[in-house]
Amino acid sequence: MTETAAEVLIIGAGMAGLTAARRLAESGVQVIVLEAQDHIGGRILTQHIDAEALELGAEFIHGRAPELWDLIQEAGLETYERGGAQFCFDSSGLNACPDELAALFDPLAKLENFTGPDLTFAEYLDREAIPAEDRLPTIGYVEGFNAADHREISAASLGVQQKAEDSIEGDRTFRLRGGYAQLPAYLTSRIAEHKGIIHLGKPVREIRWSPDQVEVITENCIFTAAQAIITVPLGVLQSGNIAITPRPDTILEAASRMRMGHAVRFTLLFRESFWKNLPQLPGLADLSFLYSFTELPPVWWTPHPEPSNTITGWVGGPRSAKLAALPPDELANQACNSLAKIFSLEPEELQSQLLSIHTHNWCDDPYTLGAYSYVAAEGLDAPLQMAQPVANTLFFAGEHTDTTGHWGTVHAAIRSGLRVAAQILNLPVPHL
């Protein structure tokens, strides 16, 4: 085996790892980033089909988080704010979403003032005596937005999340024109400029460490450093697929009190945006979000106001398992059947217009093992525990270690990368 030394090793070239690597490299620290996959970006994955930039992973910019927007502006990238009409489909058919739909999310707003022992969101709905007929949209939102099981997600964490979103105008959403992958590409260029090294296709098998000394073992290489930053997704950390010796028990115990969410998302590319040509409802030409809580998937969206012939389907939480097992062609058929029902069309008509389906199974991907993290009941302190260095030698980052309530977001990953970089730069002793 060959042996390569650095000052800091970073495991994972997602947004957390790249952010940390960029900050450290610009500060004169010698960094090596090891990425298991053959591409950078982690759960950011943009696919270009002609003029369409299709997102198979992260897509939305949620609110105005300063760390993310500073990076976008520095990179000179163009954004646009999403808007348009929202439609709902139920037993009465397809209609503009009623104003009273917002009232169904009052239980979530009340969580900002949550007090008492933590409990699951399901238990919280029981405690608040929410009528059964009002629960489906609320549960659908919690499970969809958080990729969570409402029987496990922490009610207290949802309150923290609500406050966090309010602080960054989280009710506004934006997209990057040209695709999210431009952000990790920009960070990579900055790392290279400052002599940082990124190795792709280097799955880590084992991490051996003692204070101020780390060995990271891949298939045919050993990398050594004084510190290591571990940014693998929560699901990979929980799986034990990377052996860490000795075990950082405090970190792994904290990780066990969080959950890796499950979701299925896919984008259908049609010959034309068929929904804009349907005469039955005004406003469909401006379709943004479509909710069909009783169907699979229950949530659809378009890139409106960006011109596009795509529509994306999404289901998060336990219901996603029914679609996760389908191969892409069967998933496309089911999706066309669902859209045909919603828009009162024949499935064959939509299938004839469908050019392609684009998806990535993050839950089966061995390097992610899920969509993104959420906090289980009584686990609210877990991210803070994972954010603590282990003997000033092992550092953990990633959206699951965010301490500001923004779990599952790109800006949470960026914040965690900035945090670990600062922790290492503030160490009282030299790296080597």
pLDDT tens, position by position, 381-421: 999 999 999 999 999 999 999 999 999 999 999 999 999 99
The Cα 219–Cα 212 span in angstroms is 23
| Residue 68 covered by a domain | no
Q: Which of 362, 385, 417 is the last residue of a domain?
A: 362
Q: How many CA atoms lie within 13 A of 69 on its CB side?
A: 11
Q: If you average pLDDT over residues 6-19, what whole number do you get?
A: 98
| Residue 69 covered by a domain | no
Q: Do residues 227 and 391 lie in contact, with contact meaning Cβ atoms separated by under 8 Å?
A: no
Domain match, 97 and 169 both: yes
- Tens digit of each residue's pLDDT (9 = 90 or more) over 278-306: 877 788 999 999 999 889 999 999 999 99
Domain match, 358 and 279 both: yes
Domain match, 380 and 245 both: yes
pLDDT at 207: 98
pLDDT at 381: 97
pTM of the model: 0.96
Share of the chain above pLDDT 90, in %: 87
pLDDT category at 430 given cuts 50, 70, 90 is: low
| Residue 204 covered by a domain | yes
The Cα 311–Cα 268 span in angstroms is 5
* Number of domains into which the chain is organized: 2
| Residue 75 covered by a domain | no
- Cα–Cα distance list, 429 to 28, 392, 423, 424, 426 (Å): 15, 10, 12, 10, 9
- Range with lowest mean pLDDT among 96-110, 169-183, 227-241, 379-393: 96-110
CATH number at residue 246: 3.50.50.60
Domain match, 267 and 355 both: yes
Domain match, 152 and 298 both: yes
Q: Do residues 224 and 5 lie in contact, with contact meaning Cβ atoms separated by under 8 Å?
A: yes
As a whole number, the mean pLDDT across the chain is 94
Domain span holding position 311: 81-176+263-362
- Tens digit of each residue's pLDDT (9 = 90 or more) over 99-130: 766 766 777 788 988 888 999 999 999 998 98
The Cα 141–Cα 150 span in angstroms is 10
CATH number at residue 344: 3.90.660.10
Domain match, 269 and 171 both: yes
Domain match, 172 and 267 both: yes
Q: Which of 312, 335, 362 is the last residue of a domain?
A: 362
Domain match, 213 and 85 both: no
pLDDT at 431: 44
Domain match, 237 and 325 both: no
If we measure between CA atoms, which residue out of 211, 185, 239, 236 comes closest to residue 39? 185
| Residue 367 covered by a domain | no
Domain match, 165 and 26 both: no
pLDDT category at 3 given cuts 50, 70, 90 is: confident
If we measure between CA atoms, which residue out of 13, 4, 7 comes closest to residue 27? 7
